[in-house]
Structure 1
Amino acid sequence: MSDEVRNLDDRQKRIFEALVEKERADLADLYRSALDLLASAPEENTQRTRISYICHSMREVMNRVLGAMGNSASPRIRPSTDDQVQVLPNVVAQYPDLALDAEGESIPVPQAVAEMFDKLIKTAIQEKRRSRDDVAALLTDDDNSEHAAVTRWIESRTFFVKWAHLHGTHMDVSELPGDDVIRDHINVFDELFDGVITGFFTLSHSIEDLLAEINAPVMESGDE
């Protein structure tokens, strides 16, 4: 047995090997690294960075397996909110007298700025909906974005996103999530994704067997 999967349980081995089979050894390695770090005791003063490494790896895995399994509800939205935010300062800079923090219930805003904010907000809503729809396409047969499994996936991914980033101030160890909490969220991924790959590869292998049977040479009557 390879060292990469020696310390994983049966379900984790299936996930690791499925990612490799889907030609995403990079995701398999991130997944294994997160599990290895969680299984090891943190050194003194490394608790926060250890959590960051684990959660960064799991965030990437949960985001990237959507594309790796070929499940996408719709094309990626362009330009993205990130791209639009990069352009926003240049547009606002054209109006040096604009004070968005001025007092009052309403503030006059140039049309170009208003249009950009309107587009940015609409894109953010579309991206959030698309993200949930992509998860639904992966986990459900009917693309039901309100399914409980979709909510569980998104909640765990949100946890990993939150703790992948270092914050502006030092946090006491007592404020950090414990290993049991992290493990619970990894278990959510394991449970849900294992169901996906079990169904996917069972179907894939059944199709391969069927094609092999169809393409097998037909023996003439009397041949042995």
Structure 2
Amino acid sequence: MTEKPPELDPRQQGLVEALAGRSSKLAGLYRTGLLTLLSGPVPGCEAAHVAVVCHCMRELMNGLPSAMSTIVIDRPKPSSGALLARLPGLSAEYPGVDLRLDQELIPVPKKLAQTFADIISAQVKEEGRNNKNAAAFITGDPEEISPVIEHWKKAQKFFVGWAHLDRNHDDRRELPGVDVILDNIRVVEDLIEARTRAFFDNVQSIHDLLAEINATTNGGE
């Protein structure tokens, strides 16, 4: 007998539809992550199963602020990753520089030192940007400090860690169970629900106001 495929519950389906109104890609990530989790792993592929689910949720969290917030802070350019990619080439230009010298101060060429400074600056800006975008999505204000933001960051750290097979996926570590993963997913779901409800409440308020204006105008004719 063929096993019945998993289905989303009404709340989850409602969130898929709410997300689809903003971004079909994010709706797809959320739905794919949930259905993958609920389907269970292929025997012997448990670590990959967790990684796929967490990858979907990590990408969902990365995309939510820009899709569901009116305030979005752009990524600094060049990014820290782009700057890091320059280091091997720069290092090859100065083969005599040994950064592993056993001394307190190591002289380096100006060009190399400036690149190190740019990497640090870009990383600081990116970290600040991520925090502000998360705050804007969660509270509507990029500068607001809220305990909810810490819950968001904790869930994000969980998904980022388990999405990479070279991080938490150690044979000595027990994989997170379905309940643990679902607990972290619910943090994201609660925030999506809160933000979409606020959006639709605002839309309804506008509709009510327009209806009131139209009724007044028509009644005065």
TM-score, with normalisation over the residues of structure 2? 0.87
1:126 & 1:169 partners in 2: Cα distance?
A: 27
Number of positions where the alignment pairs a residue of Structure 1 with one of Structure 2: 216
| Correspondence for 1:154 | 153
**Runs of 4+ displaced beyond 2 Å:** 6-11, 70-76, 141-146, 168-175, 208-221
**Which residue identity does 1:149 align to in structure 2?**
V
- What are the residue-to-residue correspondences of 1:207-222 with 2, within 5 Å? 207-211=206-210, 213-214=212-213, 218-219=217-218
- What are the residue-to-residue correspondences of 1:2-17 with 2, within 5 Å? 7-17=7-17
C-alpha distance after superposition, 1:5-53 (max 9, x if no partner): x93233322321111111x112111111111121122221110111111
**Which residue identity does 1:189 align to in structure 2?**
V
The answer (yes or no) to whether the contact 1:11–1:190 under 8 Å persists in 2 is no
**Which residue identity does 1:101 align to in structure 2?**
R
TM-score, with normalisation over the residues of structure 1? 0.86
- Greater CA drift, 128-137 or 8-17: 8-17
1:179 & 1:207 partners in 2: Cα distance?
A: 41
Larger RCO: 1 or 2 (CA < 8 Å, sep 6+): 1
% identity of equivalent residues: 38
Q: CA deviation at 1:209?
A: 3.9
**Unaligned 5+ residue runs, structure 1?**
1-5
**Which residue identity does 1:39 align to in structure 2?**
L
| Correspondence for 1:57 | 56
The answer (yes or no) to whether the contact 2:66–2:72 under 8 Å persists in 1 is no
**Unaligned 5+ residue runs, structure 2?**
1-5
| Correspondence for 1:180 | 179
Q: CA deviation at 1:113?
A: 0.7
| Residue 33 to residue 128, structure 1, CA distance change in 2 (3 Å) | same
Q: CA deviation at 1:138?
A: 0.8
| Residue 202 to residue 173, structure 1, CA distance change in 2 (3 Å) | farther
**Which residue identity does 2:17 align to in structure 1?**
E
**Which residue identity does 1:82 align to in structure 2?**
G
1:21 & 1:66 partners in 2: Cα distance?
A: 14
Q: Secondary structure at the match of 2:76?
A: coil
Report the aligned-residue RMSD: 2.4
The answer (yes or no) to whether the contact 1:135–1:145 under 8 Å persists in 2 is no
Q: Secondary structure at the match of 1:219?
A: helix
The answer (yes or no) to whether the contact 2:161–2:168 under 8 Å persists in 1 is no
- Greater CA drift, 78-87 or 137-146: 137-146
| Residue 220 to residue 51, structure 1, CA distance change in 2 (3 Å) | closer
Q: Secondary structure at the match of 1:184?
A: helix
| Correspondence for 1:99 | 98
C-alpha distance after superposition, 1:184-215 (max 9, x if no partner): 11011111221111111211232244345546
1:66 & 1:169 partners in 2: Cα distance?
A: 26
| Residue 72 to residue 89, structure 1, CA distance change in 2 (3 Å) | farther
